[in-house]
Structure 1
């Protein structure tokens, strides 16, 4: 599943196919950070599906995963105000397309790059928390594979960034993505059986070294 590495390098907003990938946001105001979370210094993220319409409208936000329900609510409330660049409807470009978008709420103390924050978070993530996220994902994200869950998705993002920093070849990048994808079922099994461990401890050695 090397395509995951390529996807996280290319974009955070992912369309369903190549033609729909031409959809661009024209206006996207950031959601209000829930005051209680901002005051407490809580960073987080929300992954959602939404519909983009040929006339520029954006609708039907559906949260797939989120680090906090208040963040989910903030994003869902703001999505109807977003706009995409209109397009002409054709056989290749339907009137409505599905987009997947991830928004980060990043506290200033975490810096300005969400991947840097994700990197730190993954290093300290316990298997207990991993197991809780997996349970939530299985309950709320029907139709998605376990490799799509936030922890794995964020690990792919971090691997892509570190691979770029270390100037790895495309072949080396693909090998890292494959190693994580292949190991995902074992990672899930080992974290489930050993909640006292860290997520990083149960990753393949070549992936672990990158974190």
Structure 2
């Protein structure tokens, strides 16, 4: 069976875009790397967006496999935004972050929903194992950088990217998710037979 790549979903840094969000003109999707065919993963990217609409300093902050990071960087380097006039509330350069999900699926499949559903409805036991491994591998990184939590944030923002919900409202829910992560981890550790979705904030669940 031939496989295709799941398009990347993105979110922009809440700090950088508190007052102004550039309008995207072209955002090519990354190509799924053939060298890791059949493997699901994600990459977190940082970039600078300039007032002329170009991007620079594109870097892979983390990736489940180096090939995903490389593919994401290559795609983001081609992104272009609508130029803007620099002013007090529209800086010349804006820092942004981006989470990309890579998932090989049949051409007629529904990878986005499958990925999000598998993540949010996993058992707390599985989530606890992932948290423990993440803490061993990345002791100083924030919880939102962990794969399951990063995918959940993308899921929350996805409706805004597709135009089905208000961007600011989705961003507020994404921030609510990030703030709730320590409590979610604590509850899952106390009840490993529960599911991750059981402890998501109610407002957040409505976006999934």
Q: Residue 123 of structure 1 corresponds to which residue in structure 2?
A: 121
Q: Whole-Å Cα distance in 1 between the matches of residues 49 and 201 of structure 2? A: 39
Structure 1: stretches of 5+ with no match in the other structure: 1-10, 162-173
Q: Residue 154 of structure 1 corresponds to which residue in structure 2?
A: 151
Contact 1:190-1:202 within 8 A present in 2 as well: no
Instruction: List aligned pairs for 1:44-193, cutoff 5 A.
Output: 44-109=41-106, 111-124=109-122, 126=126, 127-139=128-140, 141=141, 145-147=142-144, 149-156=146-153, 158=155, 181-182=179-180, 184-189=181-186
The answer to whether 1:42 aligns with 2:43 is no
CA distance 1:105–1:160, change in 2 (3 Å): closer
CA distance 1:132–1:203, change in 2 (3 Å): farther
The offset of 1:83, in angstroms, is 1.5
Q: TM-score, normalised by structure 2?
A: 0.64
RMSD: 3.8
Q: Whole-Å Cα distance in 2 between the matches of residues 117 and 191 of structure 1? A: 20
CA distance 1:136–1:59, change in 2 (3 Å): farther
The offset of 1:94, in angstroms, is 1.0
Q: Deviations over 1:143-179 (max 9, x none)?
A: xx43564423433555788xxxxxxxxxxxx99x969
Q: Deviations over 1:173-200 (max 9, x none)?
A: x99x969844x33543576799xx4782
Q: Whole-Å Cα distance in 2 between the matches of residues 160 and 55 of structure 1? A: 26
The offset of 1:124, in angstroms, is 3.6
CA distance 1:43–1:146, change in 2 (3 Å): closer
CA distance 1:84–1:198, change in 2 (3 Å): farther
Per residue, is there more helix in 1 or in 2? Answer: 1
CA distance 1:190–1:65, change in 2 (3 Å): farther
How many residues of Structure 1 are paired with residues of Structure 2 in the alignment? 177
The answer to whether 1:31 aligns with 2:26 is no
